[in-house]
Amino acid sequence: SLIRETPIEVDRKLMEVNFFGTVALTKHLLPHFITRKSGQFGVISSLVGKFGSPYRSSYAAAKHALHGFFESLRLEHFEDNISVTMICPGFIKTDVSKNALTADGTPLNEMDKAQENGMSAEECANQIFKALANKKEEVYIGGKETMGIYLKRFVPTVFTKILRKSEVR
């Protein structure tokens, strides 16, 4: 939902699921990785963890927060041989848009056109597997939407104009 329509309780719920849930699991596993002097975190973020998008403010915020947290973890535990792979999928044909929360906190129950036409979950999983096997620090998975990363970085004003015109819901 739009920011102005979303109660803070819904924002908090999205942060709880998409940020704090991952952090809690990480804090449980981290001592074991430190003891073993080995481990790898494969963190499912999103392309909107790299840039915002209309109707996805709190989701984008939670995914941005994951990047900050895990970049810090990567630096803090380099000597412990612990690696982090940030996985940033774009439009993958899953039910993520159906499960997206509306302003009142209920699921949208609709498939976005972009999700419907997105990469198969199987192909996404194959690319995730390769990224983990190669211990990539960050991987962008999807179709042409992955170009948004580079547009945002090198021509941010152009990228903003493109996003304003895009159909995101």
112's CB contacts (< 8 A; 6+ apart) are: 91, 97, 168, 169
* Model pLDDT for residues 104-113, shown as the tens digit of each residue: 888 888 878 8
Number of domains in the chain: 1
Is 59 in the active site? yes
| Catalytic choice (55, 59, 140, 150) | 59
**pLDDT on residue 110:** 84
DSSP assignment of 99-131, as one string?
H-B-TTSSB-----HHHHTSB-HHHHHHHHHHH
| pLDDT score of 30 more than 80 | yes
Provide the whole-model pTM: 0.90
**pLDDT on residue 49:** 97
* Model pLDDT for residues 63-91, shown as the tens digit of each residue: 999 999 999 999 999 999 999 999 999 99
Per the structure, the complete domain to which residue 27 belongs is given by 3-165
CATH of the domain at 75: 3.40.50.720
The one-letter amino acid code at 59 reads Y
Contact assessment for residue 50 and residue 95, using Cβ atoms and an 8 Å cutoff: no
Q: What is the DSSP letter of 141?
A: E
